[in-house]
Copies of this chain bind each other. A is one copy, B any other.
Amino acid sequence: MRIGVWLIGARGSVATTVVAGAAAVRAGLAPATGCVTEGDDFAAAGLPALGDLVFGGHDLAETCLPKRAEQLARSGVLPERLPELIQDDLLAADAEIRPGAGAAGAGPRTQAEVAAALAADIGAFRERRAIDRVVVINVASTEPPCAPHPAHDSLPALAAALESAGPAAGAAAGVLPPSSLYAYAALSSGCAYVDFTPSTGARLPAIDELAHTRGVPYAGSDGKTGETLVRSVLAPMFARRALRVRSWSGTNLLGGGDGATLGDPAAAASKNASKQRVLGETLGYPIDGEVHIDYVGDLGDWKTAWDHILFDGFLGARMTLQFTWQGCDSALAAPLVLDLARLMARAHETGRSGAVSELAFFFKDPIGTTEHDLAAQYETLRTWAGAL
């Protein structure tokens, strides 16, 4: 069995780490640290092996994967000598990268035409590499929140609107934001789709309808790689111990591409609101406090989050918990992307279609559930994978 992993943002830090890491683990150069599906609980789930994965994707950027890998090695994300040891794998994946939706084409096109071109790229990849099944995963930069549009609510309306809508490159003119156009193209061509970013992606009724119509699964959204991961165990701790959280404040400092995007107040909005909502859903009451996302370029691929939680104990005794998380987003995201590729390929194989809410474990803002307790999410995942 050969599984294609088609990455939107295929030359970004996360995608580069995905490709480099899969090669490194396959070659025995590194342990599969951070890969959840390598654990005993998933041994009998019939998942494809890491060695079955074939990589390609869309990206406008032109710096090739071997060069990107060297940059990541220099900033400590990849081991120093890894890029040269797995150069063949990097080159093979790089050869399967196409410019995608933002590419300058031959004059203005409708979004329907763009989607067809994206689907054609994926189809050609599948054929060329003799792939059984493709999982499309969005690891591109976060988009600003998307403006509502009446065509988002039904598939026929959407299909019609795309025929007349302007090119995706002029976002204002598009019916769908880029992430959703990719989701549309992926699902249309019978590929599973995963939103690893907070962008809109498949989270529109029309696109959900498409997934059911085509009988393909999708999952998302927003990979849980840092502050929210910790929150997803601490918030249930307070709940189980009946301690009353008074306020929960957070500051995130991040460099890299995503930092620059999220540092922008408008783009940060979708991320922030979701963070505080998750706390409220877990604890059962609204939580005071703000979340800041600051761009600090010199942090590069690294991220620091500080959270301050004020809570009451018995008889109102006022206490605090603070934590500081210093992590590398790419190194945290990449193994989850591999996990999702394997799980979604298998879900697709077993005939699952529509939103796969059982994958909530991987996401900050899981589709189809308000369960945010990591332990409960893991149990759901384990049970589901055991029954695949």
Contacts and interface: CB of A to CB of B under 8 A. Distances in A.
Given A20-B315, A294-B290, A375-B375, A229 B241 contact: yes
Interface stretch (A100-108, A273-281, A330-338, A348-356): A330-338
B321 A34 contact: no
A21 B321 CA distance: 23
Nearest to A320: B326
Stoichiometry, as copies per complex, reads: 4
A296 B80 contact: no
Contacts of A82: 315
Interface of A: 17, 20-21, 24, 30-36, 38-39, 73-74, 76-80, 82, 229-230, 232-234, 236-237, 240-244, 246-247, 249, 251, 253, 288-290, 292, 294, 296-299, 304, 306, 308, 310, 312-328, 331-332, 334-335, 361, 373-376, 378
Contacts of A319: 325-328, 331-332
B240 A230 contact: no
Given A34-B242, A378-B240, A294 B289 contact: yes
Contacts of A79: 315-316
A243 B339 CA distance: 14
A196 to B, nearest CB: 14
A375 B236 contact: yes
A74 B78 contact: no
A322 B321 contact: no
A236 B376 CA distance: 12
A229 B237 contact: yes
A240 B36 contact: yes
Contact of A233 (B30, B236, B294, B334): B236
